[in-house]
Amino acid sequence: MKEYNIKYESFNVYEENVSEAVFDFRVLPCNDGTQVVANSRMYNSIGESIFNFRNLFGFEVNRIRALSGFKEFSFTLNATVQKITTDISDIIFLPRESEIEIMSSNDFFIEHHLFLQKTAYTSLSAYNRKYILLLIDYPGLFDYLISLNKFINSLLTYKTEITDVTTTADDALNIKSGVCQDYAHLFISMCRQNGIPSRYISGYLN
């Protein structure tokens, strides 16, 4: 097990005095099957209490509401994360029939519907749908996702400054170029077309 000491800092300066503000911080290490947050502490320069809750998507949010005037604001998170080493060969995958049964159920759709919807960033035009890799052609979900990752890498050429935050999966496919977010949007698009819930994550990876 590897241990990481994480320090995240945010510092804002305002031209005018701020009388009231709400800050939400979502850049937080998570506890899941691959890592454990051994300890964490948060600080803010205005000394306000931090309110913790989960949003509509089930993700942890730390909110600070400032009711007194300030012109500078800083936030610091210190955390110790223990990363669990996993071996893909130890994972036992479900049979294809079981995967299909689960993904076709109403319970599955209800639980994951937020990550199955089409969006402006991840929808493909009728012309570009010919590129969609179909899950039905693969022996299982894991094999499909590995192949999809390689397939999208073959479709696009990594080029900076050719796309921006408004570029959609359709746009990237039309110009056959983009950066990491464009690869992600295209991956999400094809997953959702096959009924596989997926979402865009912005964060840090060692």
The rounded average pLDDT for each run of 10 residues, N- to C-terminus, in the chain (206 residues) is 91 93 89 90 92 88 91 95 84 92 96 93 93 94 96 96 94 95 96 95 69
| The pLDDT value given to residue 97 | 94
Give all domains of the chain, ordered by start, each with its CATH number: 2-83 (2.60.40.2250), 89-193 (3.10.620.30)
Average pLDDT, the chain: 92
CA distances from 89 to 60, 85, 140, 143, 157 (A): 31, 12, 15, 13, 31
| The pLDDT value given to residue 34 | 87
| The pLDDT value given to residue 99 | 96
| The pLDDT value given to residue 38 | 92
58-98 pLDDT, tens digit per residue, is 888 999 999 888 999 999 999 999 998 877 888 889 999 99
CA distances from 198 to 25, 40, 108, 185, 205 (A): 22, 28, 13, 10, 18
Q: What is the pTM of this model?
A: 0.76
Three-class SS of residue 96? Answer: helix
| The pLDDT value given to residue 88 | 80
Three-class SS of residue 190? Answer: helix
